Structure formats: structure tokens, C-alpha cells
A and B are shown apart, each in its own frame.
Chain A
Amino acid sequence: MITKETEEKIRSLKGKYPKIKTCVLPVFHILYQEKGCVDKEGIQKVSELLGIPLLELYEVLSFYVFFPAGKVGKYWIRVCDNLSCSLLGAESIIKYLEEKLKIRVGQTTPDGLFTLSTEECLGSCGTAPMMMVNEEFHENLTREKIDKLIEELSKR
């Protein structure tokens, strides 16, 4: 459901930028924040509210990788596995998370709590290995740190 509040947020973008289409990414961010994904319902609403053809919205959306198109876990774990992180053990981290959460990369735990995926460089190579949980960075990862974090998140 798109709440009235979200709708208002979307509408308020009109006129904020020199041209209406510039709203496209900001509006996706709004949807992501509100719903945790940018799905069909949301896009349809955006198309209506901002008068941008649905197809154009999908064209743009499909180019990017930041927004999930459908439901992901409450905590979306994205582990950087680019070179710098890999040099310092990112691949072991991923394997460890797979074992710990009993899912493979790209999957969500049955309780809907965690989704695990890999990510290209997140600009945190000096504190590798690292991962992003929702929008939060967790750096200089070790197995112990992961244990602690997962435990904490599971309790929340």
C-alpha cells in the first residue's frame, strides 16, 4: 500500500527540480524507504502522480541495482566482494554468512529476516572486508563481529 503520506511526499517532488523527470530517482528512494522495495504498485502510482510514462520508469529502474524490485528480507546484507575486499577475505565472509544463515547468496531466510547478496565496491576498501546491512556499513569484519551482529539483529 502506498500511504497518503508517501503520496504527499511524491507529489512534493513536483517542482523541486528543474525538470520533472529528475524526480525519477528521488521518487524511487522514497518508495524504497517507505516499502523496502520499488515494486509494480509503487511505480504505477509514481507514473500517475508525476505523469511519467510507466515504461520509462521501468527502463530507468532496470538499469540500476540499488532498489529491490520485490520483497527482500528485513535486513538486506550486501557483502562487497570486489578486489580489495576479496584480498582481505570477503569470500570467506560470504561463505560464513551462507553457513550461518543457511541460505545461498541471492536468497532470503525463511523467516524473512535476512537476504544475502554480494555487491560491487562500496567505497570502504580501507576497512575491508565489509558489508552493508540495509543502509548501514559494517567494516573490518571478522567472524566474531558477524556473530554478534546477526544475534543482535535477530533479537530486534
Chain B
Amino acid sequence: MISLTIDNKPVEVEEGKTILQAAKKVGVDIPTFCWHEKLKILGGCRICLVEVEKVQKLMIACNTPVSQGMVVWTNTPKVVKARKGIVEFLLINHPLDCPTCDKGGECDLQEITFKFGTDRSRFVEEKRRYIIDQSSTFDDLKIGPQMIRNQNRCIYCLKCIRFLREIAGEYDMGAFMRGWRSEINILPSIPISNVYSGNTVEICPVGALTAKSWRYLIRPWTASKVKSICPFCGDGCNLTLWARQNKLFRGTSRRNDKVDVGFICDKGRWGYDLVGHPERIKSPWIKKNGKLVESNWEEAYSLLISKLIEIKEKYSPRALAGFGSEKATNEDNYIFQKFFRTILGSNNLDFRAGAKKVLPSPALFEYPQVYTMTNSIEGIEKAKTILVFGSDLNSEHPIISLRIRKSVLREENGASLLLANPKKIKFSSIAEKELIYKSGSEGFLINGLLKVILDERLISSKLSENEIEELRQNLEKYSLSKVSELTGIDEEKIKDFARKIATSESLMIFCGKWISENLQAEAIIKGLNNLLLAVGKWGEKNSGFNLLWENNNSQGALDMGILPDRLPGFVPVEDEVGRERLEKIWNSSIPKERGLNYNEILLGINAEKVKGLYIMGQDPMESFPDREYIETTLKKLDFLVVQDIFLSETAKAANLVLPAASFAEKEGTFTNVERRVQKLCRALVPPGEAKADWEIICELSTLMGHKQHYTSAFQITEEIAQVSPIYGGIKADRLDDCGIQWPCLNLNDQGTAELMPENFLNKTSQLVPVDFDEAPADHYYPFILITGSLAHHSGRLTNKSANLCGIVPEGFCQINPLDAGKSNLKNGDEVLVESSKGKIKIKVKLDECVNPGTVFVPINFEHIKVNSLLDKDTLIDRVKLSKER
């Protein structure tokens, strides 16, 4: 430790710390402009100059390391003059257009001038102007759909560019020219489009970068700031919502170093506007004579109750099924399943609308059925080798991607990034090795890798001889030449990849949508766990398997028991002890048999066994991978009730639609992909008569004769803690800081960052060989279709955000230029994409990120019904393309 004094205050800090860091520790205020905790030091603004005794020149606090016995002064006449000088310099060319500047009230230049500057200027020369329009003070340049640059106000701290380069790895905005002519800009006609761009607005210390969506609407100090959690992907970034008069004005980051380190993606930043979308449903709607008409709660409840009771009595409780929500809170989902299990008496519960075949329910906890992140987001920084298998991680999880990037690019021993995906992803540029497999051949690739590991004697000595022998026999069927043929990857590349995996010091595997929604998901995940076991990294530190669920609360829906055979906390329905424990707490019986899962419920409807379906916060018509099937299935229901914030495609097909509150209009908790339970607060009153999902179900329960006593969502949080052991220590007031990762067994438990063998019931795992099906060829439909999210559009709600639609307005069909050449297709051509199930018209985008023979179409665009091309029963989907004239 180094001792020094700053303004006479003694302080001790570790060696290598700077004066600025030491000053922060003792609360001495040293102003900064270009310094940012997460960025490399630039030292350009010079506002942090301080006096160090025995040093002639003033020193910048941000880059001067402390030394033993150093005596630092931050307020001597010399320092004060220098600071005033810097402020004066910064203001000479600054337009001083504060009255019309959007940054007013949260501008560092304003603040520091106020504190340290002078109230007069000696500058009588002409100011530098970047756009000469003497009639206006707004020298604005639109540099992206959401981004406005005003170069006059720029103070060249370069935080924007430094953030984009150092943290995000983006190159669509830069610094040009030199001296006072320098400017921040884009290349002509190439607007900034990266998904992290909004952070530059947030870290800009002046009004040089502002966001279109927030400009000139309100002054920041008049808005109330509400703590929330991003409602889009499963990363769980912390947000601040800025609200006034029951309207949201913007979303900004709310730094949580465990999750987002203060940088969020543009989807989370600008997607808030969906909350205020004019199409929000504000009252219940009832279908009368085939048309939905606006109604009221009284009528809605009485209809709903009568229908539920009718079906329950006419058929059986098992004729009722419920789809919970990956978007709704834990509390909503918990109440939903409790209502189904206790009041309706049905275990027919699920929520996984996007999968062709749902995964078996996880146990608590037996490998390999742990469908969550066993590592933590923060822990990624310690990774040595990272394998991304079947995920467009950059699009699905932009903020986790930043963490992986940081790990890969860290100065000492950066992690090796290995990719195996059906198409190139953004990470390709920093990956050490990348395999592009043919969609549907995932399992063959895994077994091929295992075979190399086995054949080249790279297999872990931790495995038993039995395990190895079984594996050997199993892999006999998987000759490398066959694997190479099916995956479309050279044998040598597979070998090389396998060697890298086998020799890694530690191994983190990440999987995403291309796995979780795969028909063979279960086997693939087993296979990947086999890979971990085969290289001896199972249960090791900084190693592990991580399934990244797509949505903000997919993990929570699982945890809350929106599953046919699992009660909250993954207690098996058939487990008598566990069930009885809950029956006592709930003071009600729970059906003993497992219910139907997603696929089974749909089968049940078709078999006329399931008659009534209650869908909360989900739109299977858009997300189920077989539109024709879901459409015809839902039509067969006696009664369909949909509870949502929009009149979705599914809602349009419903008999009753109930208006729900959005994430901004309710309290509760979300659980992110790394099992972190985080709290969101209420920023707005729901529109019209809309209510939080849990409120609706509680009212319904009460009306059905089961009085509910909850007066707030956080009371439900407490009940969850009582019911689910892994949530045992989770209470709303413990979540204010950075949330807690389950398992958190009691109030003294700080939670569990990384799941280690001791967290599992079986404490060990065994390699169980798995087999895979081959995807059949079909020459009539020559292209393999893969679907997925885009960075600005993931989840079914982003297309309700005008802000996000302004950035990526429409979907497209990515096709390799070679294929395009053969079919005589150019960028922007309309093309008919046709499968055996249906066809869509869409614009072509030539892109080498897809291999020849593969096309990619993003989901989540309202006007492109991609799922009408998909077949729930086939391993892969095949299409043909024809040019539309």
C-alpha cells in the first residue's frame, strides 16, 4: 500500500493506482472530462491537473501514479488558474447554446464550468462552426437513425470513439482531421448502425451526441428516474427509465458491474417506446359473432370464469392448459402456475413457444439437464477458451458478447474464441477458429469432435474405462469422412478444432437459440456436456456449459415451474414430499400426475382432449415454428383467452383478450440467463384498464372463491422464497444492489455465481454417448433455411418500437453471393421463398456470412411470417427461391 496526502487528507491505496483514484477514495472532487472508468486513459482534456509537491509542472490526476509520501494539492492558486484556463479554452469554440441543448442539466461542461470556470469570456474572435447556417444554432448532423451529432459542442474527449473501439469493437464512427479541425463523424452515407451506439450518447460529456428519440421533449431534471430491468434479451441489463406524466422518455443504463458494466445495447436503450405504442390494449375485448369488441373487466371475468368452470366440469381439469410467459415477471408466472395447479387443478403448463420440440424439464440438479448458465457473466472474464456453439451470440445477447470480447482481447493471455455455427456471426472477426456447419448436422459435428479427441488420445483421464469404451463403440458409426460430408467442414478443420478444445486450460461452452429451439436440442446439449467431460473440464473452475435463454425472463419462467412436471424450484410433480410441502404452503391440493408440455398441449388440442387454453404474454402464432399447425390447432379450441399488452396475432384468434401491464408498469423480478434475480420498479400507471398479469389472475382467483391476499408483487416474491429453496434468500429489499444469483438458500446466502459440482444432487456426471438423426436431402427445395434474431430485433415485441423499426425497418433474406449469382439475384431484389409449408416474399441481401446452399431470414418482423415456412416435425427447413417479377 502507498500512503499519500491529498489536500491534507491522508489516504492509502494500492501501488499502481492514480491520484484520481486515490482522490475518489477520500472524497476529493477532481473534475474530469475524458476520463472514464471503463476506458483506457487518454489524458487529453487536462481538466484534472493537480499540483504535486516537488514536481514543477502540474500533473494530470488521471494518469499520474501515486508514490509513497506524495503530497497532492487540488486547490492551490496554480491549479485553480489552470482549471479556469482549460474551461475557458473549452468554451471558446463551444456555441454556448445551452438553452437549446438537449444535454442541459446533465452536461459535464455545464457542471464543471459552474464549479470551476469563470463567468466571463475573453474570447472576441470568431468561433469555429461545422455547418454554416447562420439562421440557426442547430448545427445538427444526423449520423444514424437515432443519433444526432453537433460538432460545435464537441470537446474532443473521444470517449465515443474510444468506447466503440475498446469496448464494442465497432468502426462505424470515427475521428477525422486534426487540431481544432478534428471532428467526430461517420463515413459519408454510411450511418452509424452498430447496436452499442447509444452508449456514446450517454457517455458524451456534452451535447455533441444526442439521441433523436429524447431530444427536445423534456428537460432531464423534470423526469422521474425509475430503476428497471431491460425487457428484451436474457442478459438482464439494468435500466433507468425516465418518466414524466405517465409517459416514458428514455431508457439509460444503470451500471451493474456484474451484468452490464454500464453499457447497454440500443435495443434496450431505445426500445422503451413500445410501452407507449398507440396499439396497446387498454380494456378487455370479447369475441362476439366472430369479431372482437371492446368490453370491461366485469364482463370479461364472468365470461372467463364461466368458460373455465364449464370446461373443467364438462371434460376435466386436464382439458385446461396454460402458456406462461418468458416476458412476464417471476411473480406473474408464479401466480399463473399456482392458479392453474391449485384452482383449476391442471399441470398442463409450458411457455417455450419457439422450440420445435421442448427440452425435458430440468431436475434440481442432475447433469446434464441443467438448462441455464453454470458460469456467471462476470466469470466470463476469467475464461481461457470459449466455445460458442449454435448461437448468434452478438445478436441474441449483445452485452454478454461484450464480456466475451473483453475476455478474448484482454491484454494478458486473452481467451481463445471458438465458434461453431450454421452461419458467420459478428464474432468471426475475433475468433481463433470458426466452423460453419450445415444446419441440422450439429450432433454429427459434436460426435466428430469427440472422435478426434478419442482417436488422438486427448481424452480426459478422469473418465472411467467403461465410459471410454462405450464412447468408442458409439463413435464407430461416425467416421470423420461422414461427419465432414454431413457438416460440410473439412476433416482437417474438425481435427484442428477438436485439438484446440482438448488442450484448452479451461472451457466455457455457450449455446443459444439454434440449439435450444432445435428438434434435437436434448441430444445436442448432452453431446456438448460429453465434450466437457471428454476433455476433463466438467465441474472445473472457469469451465462449464451455458445455455443462454433468449428472453428477459425465460429462466424465471422455468424457475417458477411453468412446466408440466416441475413445481417452482424444479421440484418434480411426482415427488410426494416436495409436492406435499407445497400443498401445505398453498393450502390446496396439486394434481399428482405430470401435465402436458407445449408440444403435447398442441397435440391434445388436436386430439380434442384439451379444450381451453389460457395464454399469458405470449404469441405462438408468431413464434411457434410451424404457423399453419399452430393456426389450425388454436382454432380447434373451445375457448382461448389471451392476456397481453398488444392485440397480437394470437390475441386476434382469441375468444377473450385481457389487457396486461408492460414491464414499465409493474413491479416484480426477472431472472436473467446467469440465474440473477433482479428487481424492477414501476415507472408508469398501465394504460386504460390494463393490469399487471399477477393482479388479473389474483382478481380472477378471488372471484372464483379463492381469496388472494397479495397487495404487492414483492409479497409474491416473498412467497416464492418460501416455496422454492433456490430462491430461499431472495427478498425484494436484498435486490437493490445488483441482484442475487440462485441458488440463494437463505437470507445470509449471497447467492452462487458459478454452479459447481457441489451444487448438484448427483455431484458428478457421466459421459453418456448420444446418437443423432441425419437431415434428409431434398432437391426440390435446395436451400437450408435458418432463422434467428437480429441485434436490433429480438423477441416478439421489438417491432412495436418505432425507434427500433427506424433502425432496421424490414426483414430480408441473406443469401451467399455465389448462390445469388446463379439465381441472377441482386441486393434488394424481391424473392419468393417457398417451403413445403408456405411461401413469403422478401428482399434479398447478398452476404457471405451464409454459406452457399443456406439462406437466413430473421424472425420478429411483423410483415414477414417466417414461421409459415417452418415445419415443426423436420430437423431442418428447406426452401427454394425464385425471383419475383
Contact = CB atoms under 8 A, between A and B. Distances in A.
The yes or no verdict on A and B being binding partners is yes
Nearest to A59: B174
A56 B177 contact: no
Interface in B147-187: 171-178, 186-187
A153 interface: no
A149 interface: no
A62 B171 contact: no
B176 A58 contact: yes
B171 A56 contact: yes
A63 B187 contact: no
A55 interface: yes
Interface string B168-209: 000111111110000000110010000000000000000000
A54 B171 CA distance: 8
A55 B174 contact: yes
Interface string A30-68: 000000000000000000000001111011001100000
B187 A54 contact: yes
A58 B174 contact: yes
Contacts of A56: 171, 174
A11 B83 CA distance: 49
A54 B187 CA distance: 8
Nearest to A52: B171
Contact of A55 (B172, B177, B178): B172
A63 B183 CA distance: 11
Nearest to B171: A53
Given A53-B171, A55-B171, A56-B171, A62 B176 contact: yes
B171 A63 contact: no
Nearest to A61: B176
A95 B177 CA distance: 28
Contacts of A59: 174-176
A62 B186 CA distance: 13
B174 A63 contact: no
Interface residues of B, number: 11
A63 B178 contact: yes
Contacts of B172: 55
A4 B176 CA distance: 30
A53 B172 CA distance: 9
A41 to B, nearest CB: 14
Nearest to A65: B178
Nearest to A64: B178
B177 A62 contact: yes
A59 B175 CA distance: 6
Contacts of A58: 174, 176, 187
Contacts of A63: 176-178
A43 to B, nearest CB: 10
A59 B186 CA distance: 10
B497 to A, nearest CB: 22
A63 B178 CA distance: 5
Interface string B318-360: 0000000000000000000000000000000000000000000
A56 B176 CA distance: 9
A105 B186 CA distance: 30
A114 B445 CA distance: 65
A58 B174 CA distance: 9
A99 B689 CA distance: 82
Contacts of A54: 187, 190
A44 to B, nearest CB: 11
A92 B190 CA distance: 45
Contacts of B178: 62-63
A40 B173 CA distance: 17
Nearest to B175: A59
Contacts of B177: 62-63
A52 to B, nearest CB: 9
Interface string B114-129: 0000000000000000
A53 B194 CA distance: 14
A106 to B, nearest CB: 16
Interface in A53-86: 53-56, 58-59, 62-63
A125 B780 CA distance: 78
Contacts of A53: 171
A62 B183 CA distance: 10
A86 to B, nearest CB: 21
A63 B174 CA distance: 12
A9 to B, nearest CB: 25
Contacts of A55: 171-174, 186-187, 190
B431 to A, nearest CB: 14
Contacts of A62: 176-178
Nearest to A56: B171
A62 B190 CA distance: 17
A87 B176 CA distance: 34
Nearest to B179: A63
Contacts of B175: 59
Nearest to A40: B188
A96 to B, nearest CB: 30
Contacts of B176: 58-59, 62-63
Interface in A98-122: none
A58 B172 CA distance: 11
B151 to A, nearest CB: 14
Nearest to A54: B187
A15 B172 CA distance: 26
A106 B60 CA distance: 41
Contacts of B174: 55-56, 58-59
Contacts of B186: 55
A57 to B, nearest CB: 10
A28 to B, nearest CB: 15
Nearest to B165: A56
Q: Which of A55, A56, A58 has the most CB of B within 10 A?
A: A55
A53 B164 CA distance: 13
A87 B187 CA distance: 41
Contacts of B173: 55
A62 B171 CA distance: 16
A124 to B, nearest CB: 24
A54 B185 CA distance: 13
A59 to B, nearest CB: 4
A60 to B, nearest CB: 9
A78 B791 CA distance: 50
B261 to A, nearest CB: 24
B136 to A, nearest CB: 26
Interface in B12-30: none
B271 to A, nearest CB: 26
Nearest to B172: A55
Q: Which of A56, A62, A63 has the most CB of B within 10 A?
A: A62
B614 to A, nearest CB: 51
Nearest to B176: A62
Interface string B205-226: 0000000000000000000000
A18 B807 CA distance: 39
A56 B724 CA distance: 53
Interface string B814-832: 0000000000000000000
A56 B173 CA distance: 9
A79 B728 CA distance: 80
B200 to A, nearest CB: 14
Contacts of B187: 54-55, 58
Interface string B677-705: 00000000000000000000000000000
A54 B172 CA distance: 9
B378 to A, nearest CB: 30
B174 to A, nearest CB: 4
Interface of A: 53-56, 58-59, 62-63
16 contacts: A53-B171, A54-B187, A55-B171, A55-B173, A55-B174, A55-B186, A55-B187, A55-B190, A56-B171, A56-B174, A58-B174, A59-B174, A59-B175, A62-B176, A62-B178, A63-B178
Across chains A and B, which 9 residue pairs bring their CB atoms closest together, nearest first? Answer: A53-B171, A62-B176, A59-B174, A55-B174, A63-B178, A55-B171, A62-B177, A55-B187, A59-B176
Interface of B: 171-178, 186-187, 190
Given A55-B171, A62-B178, 7 more contacts: A54-B190, A55-B172, A55-B186, A55-B187, A55-B190, A56-B171, A63-B177
